[in-house]
Structure 1
Amino acid sequence: MDSPRLSRRTVLRGAALGLGAAALGPLATHTAAAQAAPPGGRTAIVIGSGFAGAVSALRLGLAGIETTVVERGRRWPIDPAGNTFATLDAPDGRSAWFSDRPYINPLTQFQPIQRYAGVVDQVNGNGINAVYGAGVGGGSLVFGAYTPQPRRQDFEQIFPRQIDYGELDRVYYPRARAMLGTSPLPADLLANPKYVGARSWLADVADFGGTPTFHDFCVDWDLVRAELAGTRRPSVTVGEGPYGINSGAKNSVDHNYLPRAEATGNVTVLPLHEVIEMREVEGGTKFEVTARHIDEYGTVLETKRLVADYLFVAAGSFHTSALMVTAKAKGWLPRLNEHAGKGFGNNGDFLISRTLTHREYGSKQAGPGVALLYDDEFPDGPISMSWQAAPFPDIAGGNTSTNLIQAITRDRGSIDYNVATGQAELNYPFGEGSDLDTRARRFAGTFHDRADVAHGFPANGIPVYTRLAGFGSASTYHGLGGMVMGKACDYEGRVEGYENLYVVDGALIPGSVGLVNPSLTITAIAERCLDHFLAGVGGG
C-alpha cells in the first residue's frame, strides 16, 4: 500500500463517513493518530462479519489498515417488496444454511426445503444444539434484537477482574449502543392493541411480585410504526425475527458498522467465502487463510488464499473455536495452548413455553419483547426471565407465551477435534438433571405458582420445556466460549502463543455474560479489544 493510495483513502474516509471525533467518542484519539500516520501498509483479515467482525472491520478500516472480511454467507439486502427473508410459518431455502430441513420452529422442522446458503446455521452437538447466523451481518441478522447491558453484580461473578465493568459501563457499552442504534420499546407502541403480549407479560411480572427491568432493543421503531401503518411488510409486529426482519427494522450490523467500514475505502467484504484453513507463515508473523468461494447453492467456484499481517477471528463461538482446534490438530497453528476449544457455555439459557395462560398474549405477537424479570431472592441463586414475541398459529389461540429463563451456571462444554471424522465437534454433557436444568425447572414452577396459581388459575400457565422440541437447555442462540480470555487468549483477545492473532467474538467470553442476551456485551468487548490493538500498533 503506497502513500498516495493511503492519502486518497484518508480523504475518502472523512468524506464518506462524516464522523468527527465527537461521534466516535472515546475511539477518536486512536483514530486520529492512525489517520495522521497510517501503519505502514499493514494488512488484516477478519473472519466473520457479525457483531465482533463488524466492529473489527470498522476500527481497522478507520485506522488505515487494509482489511479483508471473509464471510461464508451471502448478503441480505432489504427488498423494498418485503421478501428478503423466509418467514417462520413458511420457511424455504433462505431459512437454513445448506440443510434439507428448516430450524427454529418445531411446527415446520420436518418440512423439506431446498439446500441453500440460508441465514440460520445449527450446529448439532453432543448434548446441545447451537444456532448461529450465516450472512453478511452474521448473528446480528438472526438474533432476537435484545441488547440489554448485564448488571455489575452478575457480570462480576463470571468475568475475570482484569475486565473492568466500570470501564465498559463508561466507554464501551455506550459506544456499542450508539453504533447499533438501540433503544427501549416506546410507550406508544406498548399501548398499541397489537402489543397485548407485551402488556400481558408486564402484568404477569406484577402478579409474580416482581419489578420489570426495561432494556434496549436493536430496532428502528419508526419502521415498526411503518409496519403498523401498512407501509412496510409486517415483521416485528407479527413475531418474526429468527430468519430476519423483512421490514428492515432490525438494526443488524449490515445497517451500521459494516457500511461505515466499507465507506473507509480500506475494507473489502467477501461474501460466500467459507474459510477451511488458517495457518501461520513466516514464523508466525503473518497468517494465511484459505477460503472456498461458493455460489448460493454450494458449488465451489474457486479456492482463494489470502495472507495478512494480522488475523482477527470472529466466526461465532463454535466456528471460531473449530477453526482453532482444527488448525492445532493439523499443525497449522501449533503454538495454541491446552485451553483452545475449552469453556463453552450456553449463557445459562433455558427456553420454556407457557401454555393456556390466563391472559391474552395474541397469536401473531408484536415484539420483540419489553422487559426482564430479575429474581435475586430465588433460593438457587439469581435468575432472570424474559418474554419473546412469537407467531403462533391462530388455532393455538392467544394464550401461549414463550419465555427465556437464564441462570448463572458453571456448566461448560468444549469444542474438540475428532480425528476419526476429521472435523471439530461440540460436546456439552449437561442435560436434564444438570445444575442449570434443575434450577430453571424449579424457577418455572415457582413462577407458575406465584403468577398463576396464587391468583386463582390453578390449571393455567403450564410451562413446557421438553428437550425433544428444542426447549429447555437443548439449544441455544447464545453459545459462548471456546477461546476464553485469560485461558486460550489474553484479556484483549490476543491468542496465547501468537503476537498478531486475535479472537474478538463470543468465543472469547467465559461461557456467559450474566442473565441477559450477550449481543451488546460481545460488541462492547470487541470494541475494547480493538482499542487495545490499535493503541499497541500506534501509527508505526
Structure 2
Amino acid sequence: MSTPTRGPEHVDALVIGSGFGGSVVAYRLAEAGLRTIVLERGRAYPPGSFPRSPREVGHALWDPSAGLHGMFQMWRFGHFDSLTSSGLGGGSLIYANVLLRKDEKWFVQDDPLPSGGYETWPVTRADLDEHYDRVEQMLAATPYPLRDPAYAQTAKTNQMIAAAEKLGLDWELPPLAVSFAPSKGEEPGLGLPIPLPEYGNIHGSLYGSARRTCRLLGECDLGCNEGAKNSLDHTYLSAAVSHGADVRTLSEATTIRAAEHGGYLVEYVQHEPDQPGRTLDLPRCSIHCDHLVLAAGTYGTSWLLLRNRHHLRGLGTALGTRFSGNGDLLTFLLPTLDGRRLELDAAHGPVITVAVRMPDRLDTEGAGRGYYIEDGGYPGFVDWMMEDTDVVGRIFRLGEFLARWAAERLTRQPSSHVGREISRLVGSGSLSGGALPLLGMGRDTPDGTFLLDKSGLLQATWRTDTSYDYFAAVRRTMRCFADTLGTRYFDNPIWFFRRVISVHPLGGAPMSRTKEEGVCDPHGQVWDHPGLWIADGAAMPGPVGANPSLTIAAWADRLATRLLEHRPAETRRTQPATPSRPAQRAEPLPKPHGKPTRLTFTEEMKGFFAFDEADPLTGERLGRAAQRRLMFHLTITVSDVFRFLAEPSHTALAQGWLDAPSLGGRLPVSQGWFNLFTQGETPTTRHLSYLLHTVSGNGEPVALTGRKEVHHGSGVEVWPDTSTLFFRLLHGQLPPDTPEGDTPIIGAGVLHILKPDFVRELVTLRVSGPDARRAACDFGRFFLGNLWEVYGHHLS
C-alpha cells in the first residue's frame, strides 16, 4: 500500500460522494457553518458537455484501469447487471427526474422474507414527510404540464393514461425535477432561459445562465445538455459551494479509519482523465475529519465499509446484507408484426411522464408485493439506436452478445467492471433497436449480500428466484398495456437467463432498530462509531418501491438535522479548511443571520504564454512573439463577506472559463479559488492569488496558478501591481494551499486587466443579503486599507 503524499488537512465534515445523499448533507452542513469537503470521483458535466454520438457514449464509461473516466459505470454480478453514475451530481445526472414519496404502508415492520428473516424499516413516512417537503422545494418538483399547449402533444403520455384508465388502474403525473417554466408561477414554454438562482451555479455563471426549459428531447438518461433538469449540481451542490463547501472532482476515497484521538482519517486519490491505471495504485492524499459522511452510492459505500472493516472494529454481521434492486424490470413495446410504426413517439418528452401504481398486499385492495409501471423514452437524435426495420433481430443480436458473454464467465468469478466490453460494443454502433421501454419497480425481496473477492472487487449474491412472483406480476401488467395499446410485448433478452438490470441498487449497510439488526441507527449514524454516517441508498433496509431518489434525499436531510443537533459546540467553521497565517482582523463577526451576505464580481484578464517555460516574464515575451494567447473570464463569489474578511486566507470561489486556442479553445473551470491580500513575505507585501482547475482539449487536467504581487514602492505602482497576474500552467490538479513542488510545468506567462475591462469589472460588483451596506463598506475599507499598508508609507 502506498503512503500518503502529504500530511492530512482537517475539516469538520468530509462527504464522500455527490449524489442524492451527499449533496443534501453537504449543503445542510455548509449552510450551518461547518467546514465541509465533498469528494466526487467523477468529472463535472456542465450543460452542453454530455455525450451524444455513439463514439462519445462508448467512451463515457467508468473503468479507470482502461483509461475510461466517464459518467456510466456498468456492473455485472453473478445473477444481475447494474448501471450507476459517476460524476458531479451522482445519479441525478442520468436518472429520469421522478420524485415520488415512499408509500406510507410500505414502511414495513417485521415483514417476513421468502428466504428467511424480516424486512423492517425503523423510520416511518411521518418521520420523513417534512424532509420530503424540503427536498421537493429545493429541486422544484412539478408534474409534467400536460394541459399546457407547449407540452400537450406528448403521445406516449396520453396513450399511457388512456390505457391505464381502460384497465381501471391508478395513475398520476409524478413530480419531476425538471424546469418546464423559467421560474415558479411563470408560464411553461419550450427552451426558455432559466434565470441564475441567488446562490449561483457551480459550473460558473456562463454555464448557469445557459440553462433552458425542457424541449422534450428525451435526453434525461444521457444527461441534459439543455440544463432543464434540476440536477444536484445545479441545486444542492451550487448552494453548498455558495456557503463555502469545497467540492473536489476526480477525487476517489479508498481508505477510511478511526483516528486515535477522535474523528476519521480518509485517504483519497486524484484520477488522471483518460490515463489508464488501477485506482489503488495512484498516489494518495489524506484528510482528517470530525464527521465522515459516506454517500458513494450503494456499491461505493458498501465497498468502502467492507474494504476497511478491519480499520472500523465492530461494524457487525449485518454489513453487506439486505441488498435489493428496488424491483427494477425493463421490457419493451414493439411495432406490430405487420410492420406498422409504433404510434407512441418515445423520443418526444421527458423520459418518464406517467406512473401507474399497482397496490401491495399491505393495501386493502392489493395482493402480493406492490409496484409501479412507468413509460420510458430515448433521445430522438440517436438513429444508431432506433431504426425502422429488423427491431427484433437487433434486440436478439444484443441478447446473443449477452448470452455469449454469460457463457464465457460460467467457469470463473464474474467481473463487476465491464466498461471495456461495453465501450467496444457501443463504440462500434452494435447496440441498436427500436422500442418504447416500459419501466417497472417495486417491492422485490431484499435478500442479497455483498462481499469482496480475492482481488478486492465488490461481488453481490442476489437472484430473481425469491422475487419470481413479484416479477411475474409486473410482466403480466405490462402485457396488459401492450394488449390495450395494440402493440407487441417483448421481454428484455436477458430475462431469458432470469437476469435483470438494476438502476436503483439499495442496501448493504442497512439502518436498523438495534446494532444486531443493521449497520446504522434510524438517523444514519453507524452503531458504536460516533461521527460516521451513511447517507445514501446503502442505508435502505429494503426496496423503496417507488423511484428511490427522493426518499434517499429526504433521509439524508433528516440525517443532517440529527448531525447538526448533536455536533459538539466547538464544531464551527472558525478556521479555514487549510493552514494559514494568523488572522489580521480581530473585529468580532456580526450576529448570524438566516443567510450570509454575498459579494460577487466578474473579472477578465488577457495575455500571452509559452510552452515549456517556468518564468512568467520570459513566457510572456516568447508567447507574444508567437501570438500564443490566453485569457480567463471569472465570476468571483464571496459567499459570506464578514467571514471572508475575518479569515486570514480571504478565500473566495472562482467560476468561469479559460480560453487558449493552443490548449483546445474555451475550457470550463471545474474548480477555482481566489485569495485576496494574503500576507506576503514582508509586512508591506500582499498577494492576490488564483488557482484554477480545468481540462485541456485532449482531456488532460490542467491547473493555472497565478499571483499578483502588491509590494512596497511608489504609489504609481498600484495600477500595474493590481492588474498584472504572473501565472504558470501545471500538469494535473493542485489542492489549495499546496506548494507546486515538482509538479510538471506546461508553460508560463502574464495576464493583464485592460482599463476598459476594469471599468466593466467595477460595474459587475454586487453585494446582497443582510447588512449589505455594512458589508460593502467593510470590504471597501479592507481593500483600500491593504493598499495603504503597502503604498501609504511611501506617500506619507
TM-score > 0.5 by shorter chain: yes
Which of 178, 184, 203 is the equivalent residue of 1:219? Answer: 178
2:274 to 294, 297, 308: 297
- Verify the 8 A CA contact 1:50 1:139 in the aligned structure 2: yes
Deviation per residue, 1:11-61 (Å, 9 max, x gap): xxxxxxxxxxxxxxxxxxxxxxxxxxxxxx961111001111111111111
The Cα offsets for residues 419-456 of structure 1, whole Å up to 9 and x where unpaired, read as x223332222x13xx2434432344234424x454x69
Query: In 2, are the aligned partners of 1:294 and 1:302 still within 8 Å (CA)?
Result: no
Contact 1:198 1:367 in 2 (8 A): no
AA partner of residue 95 (structure 1): A
Alpha-carbon distance in structure 2 between the residues aligned to 1:469 and 1:87: 30
Match of 2:43 in 1: 74
Does the alignment pair 1:368 with 2:351? yes
State whether residues 179 and 256 of structure 1, in contact with CA within 8 Å, keep that contact through their aligned partners in structure 2.
yes
Distance 1:211 1:139 in 2: 28
Partner-residue secondary structure (3-state), 2:175: coil
Where do 5+ consecutive residues of structure 2 fail to align?
A: 1-9, 112-118, 183-187, 194-209, 360-364, 380-384, 392-432, 513-517, 571-796
- Aligned twin of 2:248: 270
1:46 aligns with 2:15: yes
Structure-1 separation of matches of 2:459 and 2:552: 23
1:146 aligns with 2:111: no
Tell me, yes or no, if structure 1 residue 258 matches structure 2 residue 237: yes
Which of the numbers 491, 510, 534 marks the counterpart of 2:564? 534
**Partner residue of 2:296 out of 315, 335, 351:** 315
Hey, what's the Cα distance between the residues in 1 that align with 2:554 and 2:300? 20
For 1:88 and 1:374, locate their aligned partners in 2 and report how far apart those are by CA, in whole Å: 35
Q: Secondary structure of 1:342's match? A: coil
Q: Within 2, Cα distance between the matches of 1:43 and 1:195? A: 48
Change (3 A) 1:235 1:174: closer
Residue 15 (structure 1) aligns with = none
3-state SS of the aligned residue for 2:21? helix
Paired residue type of 1:268: D
- Aligned counterpart for 2:220 among listed residues 216, 238, 241: 241
2:523 to 488, 492, 516: 492
Q: Which moved more, 1:50-59 or 1:122-131?
A: 122-131
Counterparts in 2 of 1:47 and 1:271: CA distance versus 1, 3 Å:
same
Q: Which whole-Å deviations, capped at 9, do the CAs of 1:196-250 have from their partners, x for residues lacking one?
A: 1111111221222213122101111137943499x98998623222221111111
Give the aligned residue type for 2:170.
Answer: T
Counterpart in the other structure of 2:388: 395
Q: Write the distance in 2 (CA, Å) between the matches of 1:94 and 1:256.
A: 27
Indicate the residue corresponding to 1:439 in structure 2: 470
Flag the structure with higher helix content.
Answer: 1
Work out whether residues 45 and 68 of structure 1, in 8 Å CA contact, stay in contact via their aligned partners in 2.
yes
TM-aligned CA distance change 1:531 to 1:119, over 3 Å? same
Do residues 336 (structure 1) and 305 (structure 2) align?
Answer: no
Residue in 2 that maps onto 1:286: 263
Secondary structure of 2:29 counterpart: helix
Name 1:65's counterpart in structure 2.
34
Per the alignment, do residues 77 and 232 of structure 1 end up closer, same or farther by CA in structure 2, a change over 3 Å counting? closer
List per-residue Cα deviations over 1:489-530 (Å, max 9, x = no partner). 11111112311111111100113112x100000000000011
Change (3 A) 1:350 1:99: farther
Does 2:202 align with 1:202? no
1:423 to 449, 457, 473: 457
Q: Paired residue for 1:183?
A: 142
Range that drifts further, 474-483 or 215-224: 215-224
**CA-to-partner distance for each residue in 1:251-304, whole Å, 9 max, x for gaps?**
111001111111112x11111011121111215x22111111122214677421
Q: Is the 8 A contact 1:88 1:240 kept in 2?
A: no
Q: Which 5+ residue runs of structure 1 have no aligned equivalent?
A: 1-40, 101-113
| SS of equivalent residue, structure 2 residue 284 | strand
Amino acid of the structure 2 residue aligned with 1:524: A
1:142/1:242 contact within 8 Å kept:
yes
Matches of 1:88 and 1:347, distance apart in 2: 31
1:174 corresponding residue in structure 2: 133
2:142/2:178 contact within 8 Å kept: yes
**Counterpart in 2 of 1:466?**
493
Match of 1:477 in 2: 503
With over 3 angstroms needed to count, the CA separation of the structure-2 counterparts of 1:447 and 1:62, relative to structure 1, is: closer
Cα displacement (A) at 1:475: 1.3
SS at structure 2 position matched to 1:132:
strand
User: Which runs of structure 2 are paired with 1:82-101 in the superposition (5 Å)?
Assistant: 82=48, 84-87=49-52, 91-92=56-57, 95-98=60-63
Greater alpha carbon shift after TM alignment, 524-533 vs 209-218 = 209-218
In structure 1, C-alpha distance between the alignment counterparts of 2:30 and 2:541, rounded to whole Å: 28
Letter in 2 for 1:226: L
Tell me by how many angstroms 1:97 deviates.
Answer: 1.1
Counterpart-to-counterpart distance in 1, 2:144 and 2:485: 31
Cα distance between partner residues in 1 of 2:493 and 2:164: 23
CA distance 1:456–1:273, change in 2 (3 Å): closer
User: 2-side partners of 1:117 and 1:338: how far apart?
Assistant: 34
The offset of 1:167, in angstroms, is 3.0
Change (3 A) 1:194 1:325: same
SS at match of 1:221: coil
Q: Match of 2:658?
A: none
For 2:127, give the aligned amino acid. Answer: E
| Residue-pair matches, total | 467
1:128 partnered with 2:80: yes
One-letter identity of the residue aligned with 1:508: A
Q: After TM superposition, give the deviation of residue 389 of structure 1 in Å.
A: 1.8
Q: Residue 237 of structure 1: SS of its match in structure 2?
A: coil
Q: For 1:437 and 1:350, how far apart are their aligned partners in 2? A: 12
1:453-473 Cα shifts (integer Å, max 9, x gaps): 4x695xx33232321699x75
In the alignment, is the contact (CA less than 8 A) between 1:353 and 1:401 conserved in 2?
yes
The 2-side partners of 1:503 and 1:490 are apart by: 9
In 2: Cα distance, 1:199 partner to 1:88 partner: 30
Letter in 1 for 2:137: A
Residue matched to 2:445: 410
Task: Give deviations 1:388-414, integer Å, cap 9, x for gaps.
Answer: 222461416998321122231224211
Separation in structure 2 between the aligned mates of residue 469 and residue 94 of structure 1, nearest angstrom? 29
Q: 1:233 to 1:361 in 2, by over 3 A?
A: farther
Alignment-derived partner of residue 25 in structure 2: 56
- As a proportion of its length, which structure holds more strand? 2
TM-score (norm 2): 0.55
In the alignment, the residues of structure 2 paired with residue 201 and residue 179 of structure 1 have an alpha-carbon distance, to the nearest angstrom, of: 29
* Structure 1 SS opposite 2:258: strand
CA distance in structure 1 between the aligned counterparts of 2:67 and 2:158, rounded to whole angstroms: 40
Q: Secondary structure of the equivalent of 1:148? A: coil
Q: 1:496 to 1:271 in 2, by over 3 A?
A: same
TM-score (norm 1): 0.79
**How far apart, in 1, do the equivalents of 2:59 and 2:153 lie?**
27
